[in-house]
Structure 1
Amino acid sequence: MGRSTYQLKNKEEFMYAETLNIFPSEPMHVEPSTKFGMSLGASTVKSASKKSIEQPIATSNGKNTSAVHPQNTTKSDKLPVKKEGSRKATTSSSDHEGPKTPDAKTLRRLAQNREAARKSRLRKKAYVQQLESCKMKLNQLEQEIQRARTQGVLLGGGILGEQGLPSSSDGLSSGAAVFDLEYARWLEEHHRLMMELRAAMQERLPENDLHIFVGSSLAHYNTLMNLKSMAIKADVFHIISGMWKTPAERCFLWMGGFCPSEIIKVILSHIDPLTELQLLGISKLQHSAQETEEALSQGLEALYQSLADTIVSNNFIFTSNMANYMGQMAIAMNKLSTLESFVRQADNLRLETLHRLYEILTVRQSAKCLLAISEYFHRLRALSSLWLSRPRHE
């Protein structure tokens, strides 16, 4: 009884357990247990943290994170792409336009600029060649001076001193020798300027460009007058005697230079055609120059007469009074000092005549005038060379 009761009890418990397995203890719509939710949340947090750690690594490796997370892309990240697109659009539009074809006026201006540049290069080349030629001549002149210095050759009647220039006690003073060297350089520069002026006339340059060459030539005459002014102060007799000129030039010398009224006669036949107003202006200029020349010539003659009267006193041969002699020499020195004033006035008249001609004539006529004066003196120098080198028959 007891055994069967125990077995029956176990059987009932077994059936109850089976019944519990058939019916679940929780409804089917209930969410998973807290333990399963906690494990799922932990795995999600772990994966998220793993992605956050991998993202800086990917950024440091040069990958674009905006491609992975497009929702995190900012406006500043999109701006360069937009600018690049606008730049491409501008470039493509300019490429479609293409280069513009210059018009006829621009082409003509470009051709004129090229021609002007070509002429400038030619003038520069000629100028460089002339400079090299002048440098060679100057070196030869310096070598000749050095050779004369070492040999003690006579120059103008005086023996060269220690510095290669005649001493003041000899026939040619140091100031006169310096002027002769400076005048030789002036002639070389004058020849170069005349060559440029002649080339400009042959090229038929416009008057604006020709004005530069004419102005340079006139300024070069100013340089000569400045050189003469210093030489007059150093040795006025050397200038007024014309020893710095060639023999043929001395025949037409007037107070240490050319006669302005005679130069006007020389150039009149080379500057045609002239208007009536120009002819009237040149005629007045020539008349005024002649009056000034006569006044200066008469004053110089009066100075010479007064100087002779001062030196030649009564019974000067038999007079042995030294005080009287020195007094007469002092008076003569004072009168002789006015000789410098006469030569300076003559040089001023020469320079004024050239500038007045420039004001009366056109630029092209002034260029012809300067070329005619230069050719006139060039032929006188050539005549002197031919005369000195002529064969002499005994």
Structure 2
Amino acid sequence: MKYRLHSQVAIAISSLTFNGLACAATYSVTLLDTLSGTNSIAYGINSEGRIVGYSSPTEGSGTSHAAEWSASASHSLSLLESEYAFARGINNAGQVVGATSFQAVMWSGTTVTALTAPSGLGSRATAINDKGQIVGQSHSGGRLLHAIVWDGTSTTDLGTLGGEMSFATGINQMGLVVGAAQNRFGTFHATSWTGTTATDLGTLGGAVSYATGVNNDGNVVGYSATLSGSFHAVIWNGNVATDLGTLVGGDGSYAGAINNLGQVVGYSSKSGDITSHAVVWNGTVATDLNTFLEPELVSEGWVLDVANGINDSGSIVGSAYQVGTSNRKAFLLTLAPVPEPQTYGLMLAGLGLIAGVARRRSKHQ
């Protein structure tokens, strides 16, 4: 009896400790609706948890619908059944940007606004901040031309680093724009723009680099070639580049977004696996998001392969791939709630009472 009671106390305390630590780092995984198709990808998530991306009947079908998911419903933003459309960014006011066919657009509720590019070229929009400033690029004949900013009724061409082409992928609340631009040698380098002033962010020693996102502290993420020729996820603080590395055994990685807490998401290769794995970086520590997949999803062949967006609550979106099929689904990861300190106190007090009872019983035996 004495041994059993003491064992129960030890098990309860160790269970509390383990579960408490797990709560602080555990995600709940949800595969999102494909809107009657077989494929979907999520690109962005705002502070309210509204998610945007696209859904398509089959991978490579040539048609897709811009899509939005929320806690209560999912729906298509596209107006035409045959339309090729996608949504790439959403701000905290719920304004969504992307493109329909070759035209950049903004969705605000049920209103769709076409965003005109300079010289009447085609365009696509990739990000929007809370002030309604939108970034993207003009394009012609499938070639990306110049990074542009839409600000109300004005459109600004951001130019390049001396080469021909550039594109913009992110903008923060202060209007700092990031993307990539060609230099005079025709090589793409990660670039930030303040107004129309372009700054070359450099590389990790390799030839090329690309910026994909920026937070309100001005920290920029993306990916860069290294001296070995592989590509690694990178974070720039000013023009200082830090290699975020890979999962154990991986030779390549990519960073796609950063929140205002400095958490970075993307993907990494992994030793022995031909499929990339979605990753979150806290500092330079990479965590494979597949460690949070439920056994049923693993048994069905699902792999979280790309993380594309993260909000300040730590919720992450991206895409999951089902091995052995052509199916792909957008996913949402949300952090499990962490018990309040007073909850821990009450549980520990209860366990202390159990331990006291166990000690008194052992003395009488």
Q: TM-score range by the shorter chain?
A: under 0.3
TM-score (norm 1): 0.22
| Higher fraction of helix | 1
Q: Counting strand residues as a fraction of each chain, which structure ranks higher? A: 2
**Larger Rg computed on CA atoms:** 1
- TM-score normalized with structure 2 length: 0.23
